[in-house]
Amino acid sequence: TLPNVDNPKCFTVVANIKDDNYSLENRWDIWVFPKVSEPDTTGIIYTDALSSDVLQKLSNGATVVLTGTNGLYSNGLGFDISLPGRSGGNLATVIEPHPLTNTIEHNCFCSWQFFELMDDATCLYFPTELDIPFEPIIDVASAHQFPLRQAALVEFAVDKGKLLISTF
């Protein structure tokens, strides 16, 4: 029986097989998530594209959550990392301290609890020639031969509003 938890938590399941000749063990990390009720999202605009109407509301002080990279620079994400030594692909993720990331157990990187969010997803790409501040909440580290500024979760102050972009 899995315990009830207040925040997502990782548990390790351990299986042992022993006899006179062998002692075998395997371990699996499993994630237990709490039952949650629908949060109060009054006043938050959820969208998958930044239309002129949404941009106007954002400029006037709205809080906007953009899901995806529709119309923005993006690269593939995926859960499987590239092989070390390759010049392309993503090698790691880095989770920064933030109110959104402090509610889930992690070791400062996206592990199995992010699998379904990352599989076949994209990440934002911030070309260096664009003067955009790069302080991601979840950074996507590319190969060191061709470093790219990429993020899966990032927030911006836009005029009077707040914009959160999630590519998960």
Q: What are the pLDDT digits (tens) for 2-32?
A: 889 988 888 999 999 999 999 999 999 888 8
14 in Cβ contact with 26 (< 8 Å): yes
What is the mean pLDDT of the segment spanning 82-102? 83
pLDDT value of residue 96: 95
Cα distance between residue 23 and residue 31, in whole Å: 27
Beta strands (DSSP E) in 43-160 are: 44-47, 63-67, 74-76, 90-95, 122-125, 138-142, 150-158
Q: What three-state secondary structure class fits 17?
A: strand
Q: What is the mean pLDDT of the chain?
A: 89
Report the percentage of the chain scoring pLDDT > 70: 98
The structure's pTM equals 0.80
pLDDT band at 86 (very low <50, low <70, confident <90, very high): low
Q: What are the pLDDT digits (tens) for 66-85?
A: 998 888 888 888 888 777 66
pLDDT value of residue 55: 93
Residue 156 bridge partners (DSSP): 163
pLDDT value of residue 51: 92
pLDDT band at 39 (very low <50, low <70, confident <90, very high): confident
87 burial (CB, 10 Å; 0-12 / 13-18 / 19+) is: exposed
- The closest alpha carbon to 154, from 92, 81, 69, 91, belongs to 69
